Amino acid sequence: MSIMSDKWIRKMSQEQDMIEPFIDGQVRDGNISYGLSSYGYDARVAPEFKIFTNVDSAIVDPKNFSPKSFVDRDTDECVIPPNSFALARTVEYFRVPKDVLVICLGKSTYARCGIIVNVTPLEPGWEGHVTLEFSNTTPLPARIYANEGACQFLFLQGNEPCETAYSDRAGKYQGQRGVTLPKL
């Protein structure tokens, strides 16, 4: 496997709509940066949040996840309670080629504030909006800014396409739009 450069990411996004919408270069202008970087792509968080709450004393169960565990907010700024988390999604829609694995890392600006961004790898052949988890590890409320950089995606290309891609398995998160909760 090898990590793919900005030139490859640009080509795949222009020719195969790998990232849509695609921002060709880093945008800052008082924002947390987003867009194409040297060896990755900094995605933005959409203004659609699900903030974890324990109002109903629900149990967190990945096999039977209750949507009542969240309050929904459509907002440009999301405040996450102390020691809690929020789900969100990328502005960008991704279409991963069958010979590529995508790894996500949080932005250092958020990490330096105790805010961790977690995303599982984007498998070969997967497509959709990426569901993001923002964990506030601090004892204070934490703010997330919509339509600004949230995380960086790194693209690793294999020597050949995988034998069975996510799209071939009809994966349960294939083609997801919006913030997607756990499924069985």
In the predicted structure, residue 39 carries a pLDDT above the cut 90: yes
Average pLDDT value for the chain: 93
CA distance 99 to 64: 33
Report in angstroms the alpha-carbon separations of 173 from 71, 112, 129, 132, 134. 22, 31, 10, 13, 19
Active site residue 148: no
Rounded to two decimals, the pTM is: 0.92
pLDDT, position 17 = 97
Instruction: Tell me the average pLDDT across 83-88.
Output: 95
Catalytic option among 48, 133, 148, 160: 133
For position 183, what pLDDT does the model report? 87
With bands split at pLDDT 50, 70 and 90, how would you rate the model's confidence at 86? very high
